[in-house]
Amino acid sequence: MKRVFYLTAVLSAVLYNAPSYAQQVSDSLLPQATLQACIQYALTHQPVVKQAKLDEDITEYTIKGKLADWYPQIGVDYSLNHYLKIPTSYFNGNYVQLGVENNSAALFQWNQNLFTRDLLLAGRTARDVRKQAKQNTESYRIDVVANVTKAYYGMLLTERQIDVLDEDVVRLERSLKDAYNQYQGGIVDKTDYKRATISLNNTRAQRKTAAEQLKASEAQLRQLMGYPVNGPLPLVYDTVQMVQNIQLDTTVTVTYNNRVEMQLLETQKTLLDAQLKYNKWSFIPTVSAFANYNFNYLNPEFSKLYNNNVPSSQVGLKVSLPIFQGSKRIYNIRQAELQIKRNDLDIENLRNQINTEYTQAMATYKGNLNQFYVMKENVDLAQEVYTLIEMQYREGVKTYLEVITAQTDLRSAQLNYYNAMYTVLSSKVDLQRSLGTISTNNY
């Protein structure tokens, strides 16, 4: 009876906690690792993206901290003093002690900035600084999308290579068995099944190498995604859909402003223009209003110090203007002007770089696309040749060496086909990146 009660309690606890456990698993692991799911996961969990979001938050609080100086600044100062020896002053030919042994004061101060160039700069650049932080985050997100996509294709390529090698192992094992049976029957000498053994061993070795490479590819994908090391990562993909996604409009031309790098430089130029104005404002006075109220307590006896208050208060307007600073302000203006010119050269250099990247990416994509179509045709031809030669070999028309050659050609054609497919998909990513058309809003 106790055993039944114990099992019931355990089952109840498991069922009660199952939803929260399932939620934790779904939050940290992917049940189906499609390309889109991997990218979405990376954009949420990749430490670089998280750091960029934290940088945005830091920037926001920095802006608020600077703009807070527009609000009234209120403070209080308190002091308590006891003279061990009262200060002495010379007055009308006599030395006179001035003051009392004990004094205390409390000063309440209010200050309102009316015009300062620091606050003007903070107010006018706040929007652009926020924009720059968001553009930095977008730059990281684009890198994550591109890198995860290429790593995903790389892992798929290795998996497909393993599949091809597994199929080849099955064919070679069957051929080895047929060749050995023919040798046992005295139809052929041992050369055929020895050759079959050599080919089988070579394919198994390639398969082992590919399996080890798959571990490395998976580790890279996990790292780029920010995915747990020990969690399962079951890739789910549709080869037919991938083949359909290979095509890209090759007549499109590059638009520089689509690149987030160009957007960052344009924002940087706006901030540099604001910095130039800031330096020019150094010739304008700083203006602030103030008010204070001072409580003063004086008494020779410490116990009666706070019996009498002799207050004072004042309000005023403060204007501050540096007259000469060794031409520092002029030098700062010249420096800001040169920084703007340098930024213009950065923009010009980036345009040239983007144009080169686009030209190279387009040429690579077109070459890989043509290679893919050629390899696709070769697979069909190699499969047809292998089927025909194997049939002729069974009928005694072809030699076993020709069968081995046809098998090798078929395996090479299949491997080359998948390599060409994933290569052209990766080059498409590079082309989209050079065009600035990779969007992270879809994830």
* Domain presence at residue 4: no
109 and 179 belong to one structural domain: no
Residue 212 has pLDDT above 60, yes or no: yes
pLDDT per residue as tens digits for the range 178-192: 777 777 776 667 777
Using CA atoms, how far residue 156 sits from 36, 43, 201, in Å, is 14, 20, 24
Q: At 257, which CATH number?
A: 1.20.1600.10
Domain annotation covers residue 13 = no
Residue 15 belongs to some domain of the structure:
no
Answer for the pair 382, 420: CB distance below 8 angstroms, yes or no: no
- pTM, two decimals, is 0.82
What is the number of other CB atoms lying within 10 angstroms of the CB of residue 142? 19
Report pLDDT for 40.
94
Instruction: Give the pLDDT band (50/70/90) at residue 342.
Output: very high
Confidence of residue 21 (pLDDT cuts 50, 70, 90): very low
302 and 209 part of one domain? no
Confidence of residue 27 (pLDDT cuts 50, 70, 90): low
The reported pLDDT for the residue numbered 19 is 38
Are 440 and 141 within 8 A, CB to CB?
A: yes
Return the pLDDT at 300. Answer: 87
Question: Is residue 252 domain-shared with residue 263, that is, in the same domain?
Answer: yes
Residue 403 domain flag: yes
The verdict on 82 and 200 lying in the same domain is no
In a domain, 3, yes or no: no
Asked whether residue 164 falls in the same domain as residue 307, the answer is no
Residue 175: band (very low, low, confident or very high) from pLDDT cuts 50, 70, 90: confident
**Paired tokens of 411:** 């395996």
Whether residue 385 is contained in a domain is answered as yes
The Cα–Cα gap between 331 and 280 comes to 11
Is the same domain home to 85 and 145? no
Mean pLDDT of 85-113: 88
Query: Which of 320, 339, 371 represents a domain boundary (last residue)?
Result: 320
- Is 337's pLDDT higher than 90? yes
Are residues 128 and 203 located together in one domain of the fold?
yes
Nearest CA-CA partner of 104 in 256, 245, 248, 311: 311
Give the CA distances from residue 333 to residues 116, 118, 339, 347, 418, in Å, rounded to whole numbers and listed in that order: 17, 15, 10, 21, 59
Q: Please, are residues 415 and 164 in contact by the beta-carbon 8 Å criterion?
A: yes
Tell me the residue range of the domain where 309 lies.
Answer: 73-114+288-320
**For residues 158 and 155, what is the distance between their CA atoms, to the nearest angstrom?**
5
- Would residue 11 count as lying in a domain? no
Q: Domain count of the chain? A: 2
In a domain, 30, yes or no: no
Instruction: Return the amino acid letter for 100.
Output: V
- Let me know whether 110 and 64 are in one domain: no
